[in-house]
């Protein structure tokens, strides 16, 4: 009988970003870290958990028996840790999922670090990205060109023989 496996892709993403964050010392230009996640399942939730801390839901029972619920993030992310923002030299993370020649048509996601000391100009990246809003309270989707169009790949990709 197959074993149950807990998928925790966020840990691999967080480790890769943290390991690369200080590799080159102080930089004068924006610094983007690219990570190719080799996993069966990676979604936006995994990426946000890796960068900003794992999501949690807390339910408390009040004295009158009613329940209160609150949501938040643990302070265990690559960009937000126990004392607040960290790895601020990282401007953005470019996350691909199982990048290979047969998956090159799938756009990687570029996530801007809202705490970056040297932010990456949004207009430099032509593909879809997640960018901080003005108040830096959340990330918003910014559309872009499709990577298959940018690379002028035939449809379908990979080509059928």
pLDDT tens-digit map of 19-60: 999 999 889 999 999 999 998 888 999 999 999 999 999 999
Predicted pLDDT of residue 6: 57
pLDDT above 70: percentage of residues in the chain: 95
How many of the other CB atoms lie within 10 Å of CB of 128?
Answer: 16
Per-position b or e across 51-84, b if 16+ CB within 10 A of its CB: bbbbeeeeeeeeeeeeeeeeeeeeebbbbbbeee
In a domain, 74, yes or no: yes
> What is the pLDDT averaged over residues 130-144?
87
In a domain, 159, yes or no: no
How far is Cα 89 from Cα 84, in angstroms, rounded to an integer?
A: 14
Burial (Cβ within 10 Å: 0-12, 13-18, ≥19) of residue 144:
middle
In a domain, 161, yes or no: no
Is residue 73 reached through a cis peptide bond, with omega within 30 degrees of 0 on the bond before it?
A: no
The DSSP letter of residue 3 is: P
- The reported pTM is 0.88
In a domain, 2, yes or no: no
Do the Cβ atoms of 106 and 125 come closer than 8 Å?
A: no
In which domain, by residue range, is 52 found? Answer: 9-150
pLDDT in tens, 104-131: 999 999 999 999 999 999 999 999 999 9
Dig out the tokens for 58 from the structure. Answer: 């807390």
Query: Does residue 5 register a pLDDT over 60?
Result: no
In a domain, 40, yes or no: yes
Q: Total domain count for the chain?
A: 1
Q: Where would I find the H helices in 22-119?
A: 44-52
3-state secondary structure of 157: coil
- Please choose, from the candidates 86, 107, 110, the residue with its C-alpha nearest in 3D space to the C-alpha of residue 18: 86
In a domain, 156, yes or no: no
> What is the pLDDT averaged over residues 79-83?
97
How far is Cα 143 from Cα 55, in angstroms, rounded to an integer?
A: 25
């Amino acid at each position: 009988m197959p074993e149950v496996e807990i998928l925790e892709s966020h840990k691999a993403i967080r480790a890769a970003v943290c390991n690369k964050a200080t590799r080159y010392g102080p930089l004068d230009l924006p610094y983007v870290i690219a990570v190719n996640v080799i996993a069966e399942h990676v979604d936006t939730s995994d990426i946000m958990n890796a960068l900003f801390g794992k999501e949690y839901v807390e339910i408390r029972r009040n004295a009158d028996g009613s329940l209160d619920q609150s949501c938040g993030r643990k302070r265990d992310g690559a960009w937000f840790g126990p004392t607040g923002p960290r790895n601020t030299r990282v401007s953005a993370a470019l996350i691909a999922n199982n990048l290979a020649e047969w998956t090159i048509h799938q756009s990687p996601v570029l996530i801007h670090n809202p705490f970056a000391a040297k932010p990456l100009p949004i207009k430099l990246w032509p593909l879809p990205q997640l960018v901080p809003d003005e108040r830096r309270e959340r990330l918003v989707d910014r559309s872009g060109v499709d990577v298959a169009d940018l690379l002028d790949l035939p449809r379908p990709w990979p080509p059928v023989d």
